[in-house]
Amino acid sequence: MNVRALTLILLAGPAGAQGFAGLGTQAEGFAIPAPGYAFDFPADHGAHPAYRIEWWYLTANLTGPDGTPYGLQWTLFRSALAPEDGSGWDTPQLWMGHAAVTTPEAHFVTERLARGGIGQAGVVADPFAAWIDDWQLAGPDFDQLEMTASGPDFAYDMALSAEGPLVFHGDAGYSVKSAEGQASYYYSQPFYAVDGVLSLPQGDIPVTGRAWLDREWSSQPLSGDQTGWDWFSLTLEGAKLMGFRLRQADGSAYTYATWIDPDGAATAYSDGAFIAEPLARDGARDIPTTWRVTLPDRGVDVTVQALNPEAWMAVSIPYWEGPVTVSGSHDGTGYLEMTGYEGTSP
Amino acid sequence: MTRAGLAALLSHWRRSPLQLFTLVAGLALATALWSGVQAINAEARASYDAAAATLGEAQFAQITRADGGPIARDTYVALRRAGWLVSPVIEGRLEGVRLIGVEPLTAPGGIGPVALDAGDDLPGFLGEGILFGRAEVLAALSGTGLRGIEAPDVAPGIALTDIGVAERLLGPGISRLIVAPAQPRDRPDLAQVAPGLVLQPPQAGSDIGRLTDSFHLNLTAFGLLSFAVGIFIVHGAIGLAVEQRRPMVRTLRALGMPLARIVTLMAAELLALALVAGALGVALGYGIAAALLPDVAATLRGLYGAEVAGTLQLRPAWWLSGLGIALAGTALAGGRALAQVARMPLLASARPRAWAMQSRRGLVMQAALAGVLLGLAGLVAALGSGLVAGFVLLGALLLGGALLLPVVLSALLATAEARARRPVAGWFWADTRQQLPGLSLALMALLLAMAANVGVSTMVGSFRLTFVGFLDQVLASELYLTAEDDAQAEALTDWLEPRVDAILPIRNVERDVAGLPAEVFGNRPHATYRDNWRFLQSAPGAWEAVDAGAGVVINEQLSRRAGLAVGDAVVLEGAAFEVLGVYGDYGNPIGQVILTEAAFERLFPGVEALRFGLRLPPDAVPALEAALRDDFGLGEGRMIDQAGIKAISMQVFERTFAVTAALNVLTLAVAGFAMLMSLLTLAAMRLPQLAPVWALGLTRADLGRAELLRALLLAALTAVLALPLGLALAWVLLAVVNVEAFGWRLPMALFPGDYARLGLFACLAALIAALWPARRLARTPPAELLKVFTNER
């Protein structure tokens, strides 16, 4: 679900920009998500410029020929200053890309920014293509995609093939984010099989694995007292679990989870059913990279541990995002994202 | 003991306040002129650096179109999509301001932040538009209706805004692309993605910096000369003070004070004086710089398009260096005197050693040293190359000339003395010669000041003449147009065809020629070029041959740097062309090649002309301009009329002259002051020499008149001798320093009227300086003169 993009994108900008006026206020003129929305594909895979924020967010757990685990991230954010397309330089549509590769020893990350309206970045639904600069996530349809990205010290080229259906979170894709009712449209494709090549400083590495793509758009920022979040996407012996925990300024938390059966059938769990507790802090930034995650209704009681505690995303608005391993009641792999830890004690 | 010693030493200044004044004023003036010039230079450099930082030229590589035209937005997107991390810039002139549109999302750090730090309002910056710049720039652009935010970090004369805003105001087309320092691992070649674009590495020094080097060099030379003049004064004052305190030093030592402590005390005393005088000088220098800076800024803007802030900032590095130079100058001037005290035998005679006197042997030594220095100057002129050699040459020439002055004057006076028939005339010449050593420092200062004035005004004047001639040459057409794109260019030429005498398209591309960056121009054959262009060297019928496609003409820069002369071959795109002429080019630092239009089209197909020169009767220009504005919407900046440019250029030169004249007056004033102080000092010591002449029947008024006449004579002789030295200085500046800094040599012109006026000023300065001592002498009570015979002085 990546709630952090709500903030991240609004705060995005070149070095020195300290964010926009109006963060946390109502979405003047922007469309607002409402329950009972009928998704229309492939059109809804494309951009929704009437909404303030939107993203195409892909994470993958990969394995090299020698069994070494790797993590990969490809993300495109859209942020609108006004609810219109615009054209040329005068467009209000801004785009931001993040790409990363995590190995047990290293973490490579890079960022791109662009404005829409000139063709430098954008998303079209059919045939599907999402791009910023030379990075691309594109294919004949949403089930068959090629994915590329590159930075000063890494690059990758992956082929993705969906082996299951789209999964809708919350109430048929209407995902509530706080007790006050802030919400987004949110669906995922968690069933991609991946193979491709990672180009790292030590050389090219052929890899295979699984990828999870999140699609979300909204116009309302988080509620004002939410300080950060912890987001888990876990693959547990066939089934999958997505859960997040929004931390409140008063120390409490708002949680949500979706349990996904191997055939794609989804069950939503509202606030309180999903529990995530930090077990140990680690890394240069003293961030909780070991967690106890439980969903008693499904008999889940697992320890989630970062593959590389230093998976820090040193981008415009920094956060932690990296692959994890799961052990306990279930074994598996997944991705963990944590925001709001920079410079503060949670 | 130390306190008593110090009190004794300091009592000297109480008894001779004039000496103290001379010392402090001389040092303060020297420091003021030096640090004033440095302040101007520092301010200008800071402005260039700010401009380079604002434009990103210094830190980042740039991509431009090879022919200098605008880059299409699609080309930019194609580069980004190929993995090239570049950021577009649209820039142009609006209301006299350089408007720069940046793309803040892709701009590498160090460019956009100037704007964004100040604003924190990205939606505003991207949306309705915000201008960042200094107050005067925002005021000039108030007509745009955009919100302005004052940003002192933005270089003067520049406004920063979003690229979308810049496109609205200036029209489409990206001026250049800034290349981010970190690029992805694998990218296709630039030529593969965007043929016709060229990558330029970051420029360590900005173009403006290089272009204006010569100007600042000249200012620096001026400052250094002024400082040298001032140091002559200080040297004299300190030498005199030490000399007159010899008896005191002897007494102190006889009372048991160690020599080392005396020397230390004297050094400390000088240090304190130097600090006080240095501080005064720095303050004075600040005043001079603040007064001159607006003119210098106007000059630099007009001459080179370089924007320099018109107001001065107090930079610590600058005033520290001012104090430093004051200390260094004092050490230079006082070192020898202190060494003499340190070497003085305990029982040496306390009688003043007739400070001013120098032995014949000293004069011979001085002549020898001058000979060595002038020889060195000749050697460097013949063999040396480079800016450093140019400065060594300047230094050796000036110092050698100054040292030679007393020798030459002495010889002249001796000749005159030998020819004198009447006894009073004989006495006058002998007495003048006898006084020469005491006055020689002041005369050297006058010589240097005069030579600097002659040299610099010759250079500036030559520059002016040449530049005006050059403007006539390159601005031969009455009106210049720049079209926005090829379509408008075509429409313009169709429309203009029946309305003007001739349309001269200006096409150019940037290419490396003989391994050096150069511009290649394609000219349409026309009488305009034959009539107006003057060659430094050429083959007969050069333009006719160029028009026939037989060869090319090149500018002096290319000729000098690539060693190309008439008859040599230049290779363009694999085809060889004979050099038929070399023309002077005083407007740009890089090489130029001109060939005929047909040959240009063959070599560089597809390069269309966007700029045009139009020939028409001058009085028809305003009507045509109005019609072009109405029919094509051609705005300011796209039409330039020749008369306007020339008027601006002339204004620039008048401003330059204002600066030069101010510095001239200041150096002459310093030299006059040196003269006054020397004469006053001598007057007191000369009574024993004058008393017998008075006793023999010359009245005191006669003696006073003789004093005046002597000062005038010496000043006139010095002025005459300064002329060749000044002309040599001008030659070095024009033919050596300029060639090194600019790549071209200015033809030297002579301005006899100016020199005559200058000589008159020098004599006037000497006359004023001598007036007071002469008056004092004329009014010396006879009793004072009589005392010479009664007292055992």
Q: What is the pLDDT of residues B443-453, one digit of tens each?
A: 887 888 788 78
CB contact (8 A) between residue B81 and residue A134: yes
Q: Which residue has the higher pLDDT, B243 or B541?
A: B541
* Strand blocks (E) in A81-182: 93-102, 107-115, 121-124, 129-132, 135-141, 144-150, 155-162, 167-168, 174-176
Of the ranges A1-5, B138-142, B427-431, B650-654, which one carries the lowest mean pLDDT score? A1-5
Domains assigned to chain A: 4-8+50-338 (2.40.370.10)
Asked if B59 and B202 count as a contact pair (C-beta separation under 8 A), the reply is: yes
From the list B127, B168, B185, the residue facing A81 with the nearest CB is B127
Q: Which residue has the higher pLDDT, B685 or A235?
A: A235
Residue B492 confidence (pLDDT): 86
**Which of A25, A120, A135 best tests the B interface by mutation, with the highest count of B CBs <10 A?**
A120
Q: What is the DSSP string of B589-644?
A: SSEEEEEEHHHHHHHSTT----EEEEE--GGGHHHHHHHHHHHH---BTTEEEHHH
Of the ranges B105-114, B201-210, B527-536, B760-769, which one carries the lowest mean pLDDT score? B201-210
- Beta pairing partners, A208: A63, A195
Reply yes or no on whether the pLDDT at B760 is more than 60.
Answer: yes
Residue B306 confidence (pLDDT): 61
Alpha helices in B732-781 (DSSP H): 738-742, 752-778
Q: How confident is the model at residue B308 (pLDDT cuts 50, 70, 90)?
A: low
Residue B645 confidence (pLDDT): 66
Residue B297 confidence (pLDDT): 72
Please compute the mean of the pLDDT values over residues B400-422 and round it to a whole number: 88
Task: Please report the residues numbered 358 through 387 in chain B whose beta carbons come closer than 8 angstroms to any beta carbon of chain A.
Answer: none
Distance of CA B79 to the CA centre of its chain: 43
Q: What is the pLDDT of residues B244-298, one digit of tens each?
A: 787 788 888 888 888 888 888 888 988 998 999 999 988 988 888 888 777 777 6
Name the nearest CA neighbour of B439 among B669, B770, B756, B745: B770
Residue B631 confidence (pLDDT): 81
Distance of CA B593 to the CA centre of its chain: 29
**Which of B84, B105, B187 best tests the A interface by mutation, with the highest count of A CBs <10 A?**
B105
Measured in angstroms, the CA of B130 and the nearest CA of chain A are apart by: 13
Residue B309 confidence (pLDDT): 65
CB contact (8 A) between residue B185 and residue A94: no
Residue B311 confidence (pLDDT): 67
From CA B383, how far away is CA B614, in angstroms rounded? 47
Q: Which residue has the higher pLDDT, B315 or A193?
A: A193
Please write down the long-range contacts of B371-376, taking CB distance under 8 Å and 24 or more positions apart.
B371/B400, B371/B404, B372/B400, B373/B397, B373/B399, B373/B400, B373/B403, B374/B400, B374/B401, B374/B404, B376/B400
Task: Please report the residues numbered 108 through 127 in chain B whose beta carbons come closer than 8 angstroms to any beta carbon of chain A.
Answer: 109, 112-113, 116-117, 120-123, 126-127
For chain A, how many residues are written? 346
Residue B463 confidence (pLDDT): 73
Q: How confident is the model at residue B157 (pLDDT cuts 50, 70, 90)?
A: confident
Q: How confident is the model at residue A187 (pLDDT cuts 50, 70, 90)?
A: very high
From the list B85, B109, B167, the residue facing A89 with the nearest CB is B167
Looking only at the bridges linking them, the beta strands covering B479-482 and B611-615 are: antiparallel
Measured in angstroms, the CA of B77 and the nearest CA of chain A are apart by: 5
Reply yes or no on whether the pLDDT at B650 is more than 70.
Answer: no
Reply yes or no on whether the pLDDT at A161 is more than 90.
Answer: yes
Reply yes or no on whether the pLDDT at A3 is more than 60.
Answer: no
CB contact (8 A) between residue B121 and residue A21: yes
Which chain B positions have a beta carbon within 8 Å of A14's beta carbon?
Answer: 104-105, 107, 109, 112-113, 116
Distance of CA A8 to the CA centre of its chain: 12
Measured in angstroms, the CA of A114 and the nearest CA of chain B are apart by: 6
**Which of A18, A84, A89, A132 best tests the B interface by mutation, with the highest count of B CBs <10 A?**
A89
Residue B791 confidence (pLDDT): 58
Measured in angstroms, the CA of B143 and the nearest CA of chain A are apart by: 21
Q: Give the dihedral of Cα atoms B188, B57, B155, B158; nearest 10 deg.
A: -60
- Please report the sign of the dihedral spanned by the C-alpha atoms of residue B46, residue B52, residue B53, residue B54: positive
Which chain B positions have a beta carbon within 8 Å of A113's beta carbon?
Answer: 105-106
Name the nearest CA neighbour of B145 among B131, B158, B132: B131
Asked if B296 and B660 count as a contact pair (C-beta separation under 8 A), the reply is: no
Reply yes or no on whether the pLDDT at B28 is more than 90.
Answer: no
Give chain A's mean pLDDT. Answer: 86
Asked if A51 and A34 count as a contact pair (C-beta separation under 8 A), the reply is: no
Reply yes or no on whether the pLDDT at B557 is more than 70.
Answer: yes
CB contact (8 A) between residue B164 and residue A88: yes
Residue B660 confidence (pLDDT): 65
Q: What is the pLDDT of residues B502-547, one digit of tens each?
A: 888 888 887 878 877 788 888 888 888 878 787 888 888 888 888 8
CB contact (8 A) between residue B109 and residue A14: yes
Q: How confident is the model at residue B216 (pLDDT cuts 50, 70, 90)?
A: low
From CA A226, how far away is CA A222, in angstroms rounded? 7
**Which of B178, B185, B187, B192 best tests the A interface by mutation, with the highest count of A CBs <10 A?**
B185
CB contact (8 A) between residue A114 and residue B106: yes
CB contact (8 A) between residue A113 and residue B106: yes
Residue B431, H or E segment: helix B423-474
From CA A210, how far away is CA A213, in angstroms rounded? 10
Name the nearest CA neighbour of B42 among B308, B329, B325: B308
Please compute the mean of the pLDDT values over residues B607-628 and round it to a whole number: 84
Q: How far is CA A182 from CA A26, A55, A174, A185, A224, in A?
A: 11, 17, 10, 11, 11
Which chain A positions have a beta carbon within 8 Å of B109's beta carbon?
Answer: 14-16
Please compute the mean of the pLDDT values over residues A270-291 and round it to a whole number: 87
Give the 3-state secondary structure of residue B121. coil
Q: How confident is the model at residue B657 (pLDDT cuts 50, 70, 90)?
A: low
Measured between CB atoms, does B179 come within 8 Å of chain A?
no
Q: What is the pLDDT of residues B163-172, one digit of tens each?
A: 988 988 888 8
Of the ranges A15-24, A86-95, A179-188, B307-316, which one carries the lowest mean pLDDT score? A15-24
Measured between CB atoms, does B184 come within 8 Å of chain A?
yes
Residue A273 confidence (pLDDT): 93
Measured between CB atoms, does B107 come within 8 Å of chain A?
yes
Which chain A positions have a beta carbon within 8 Å of B81's beta carbon?
Answer: 119-120, 131, 133-134
Q: What is the pLDDT of residues B369-397, one digit of tens each?
A: 889 988 888 888 777 766 677 777 877 88
Task: Please report the residues numbered 534 through 573 in chain B whose beta carbons come closer than 8 angstroms to any beta carbon of chain A.
Answer: none
Contacts of B692 (CB under 8 A, 6+ apart): B788
Residue B519 confidence (pLDDT): 84
Find where tokens 């391993």 sit. Answer: A325
ipTM, 2 dp: 0.88
Secondary structure letter of residue A310 according to DSSP: T
Residue B205 confidence (pLDDT): 42
Q: What is the pLDDT of residues A312-341, one digit of tens each?
A: 888 877 889 999 999 999 999 999 999 888
Q: How many CB pairs under 8 A join A and B?
A: 96
Which chain A positions have a beta carbon within 8 Å of B168's beta carbon?
Answer: 90
pTM: 0.59
Q: How confident is the model at residue B26 (pLDDT cuts 50, 70, 90)?
A: confident
Give the 3-state secondary structure of residue B464. helix
Secondary structure letter of residue B149 according to DSSP: E
From the list A16, A118, A155, the residue facing B77 with the nearest CB is A118
Find where tokens 């802090």 sit. Answer: A281
CB contact (8 A) between residue B85 and residue A131: no
Name the nearest CA neighbour of A145 among A92, A213, A99: A213
Reply yes or no on whether the pLDDT at A74 is more than 50.
Answer: yes
From the list A17, A82, A118, the residue facing B122 with the nearest CB is A17
Q: How confident is the model at residue B350 (pLDDT cuts 50, 70, 90)?
A: very low
Please compute the mean of the pLDDT values over residues B9-23 and round it to a whole number: 81
Residue A21 confidence (pLDDT): 26
**Which of A78, A133, A154, A317 best tests the B interface by mutation, with the highest count of B CBs <10 A?**
A133
Q: How far is CA B674 from CA B235, B443, B560, B671, in A?
A: 11, 8, 44, 5
Give chain B's mean pLDDT. Answer: 79
Which chain B positions have a beta carbon within 8 Å of A13's beta carbon?
Answer: 104-105, 116, 122
Residue B55 confidence (pLDDT): 60
Q: How confident is the model at residue B609 (pLDDT cuts 50, 70, 90)?
A: confident
Give the 3-state secondary structure of residue A327. strand
Q: What is the pLDDT of residues B65-111, one digit of tens each?
A: 877 678 999 999 999 999 999 999 998 888 778 888 888 888 876 55
Q: How confident is the model at residue B58 (pLDDT cuts 50, 70, 90)?
A: low
Please compute the mean of the pLDDT values over residues A271-295 and round it to a whole number: 88
C-beta atoms surrounding B409 within 10 Å = 22
Residue A9 confidence (pLDDT): 38
Give the A-side interface with B, CB within 8 Å. Answer: 13-21, 81-82, 88-90, 92, 94, 110, 113-115, 118-120, 131, 133-134, 150-155, 199
Name the nearest CA neighbour of B156 among B144, B138, B170: B138
CB contact (8 A) between residue B105 and residue A21: no
Residue B360 confidence (pLDDT): 63
Please compute the mean of the pLDDT values over residues A185-199 and round it to a whole number: 95
Asked if A99 and A74 count as a contact pair (C-beta separation under 8 A), the reply is: yes
Which chain A positions have a beta carbon within 8 Å of B120's beta carbon?
Answer: 17-19
**Which of B79, B81, B125, B167 best tests the A interface by mutation, with the highest count of A CBs <10 A?**
B81
Alpha helices in B194-314 (DSSP H): 207-244, 246-254, 259-304
- Please report the sign of the dihedral spanned by the C-alpha atoms of residue B786, residue B790, residue B791, residue B793: positive
Measured between CB atoms, does B153 come within 8 Å of chain A?
no
Which chain B positions have a beta carbon within 8 Å of A154's beta carbon?
Answer: 185
**Which of A118, A150, A198, A204 best tests the B interface by mutation, with the highest count of B CBs <10 A?**
A118
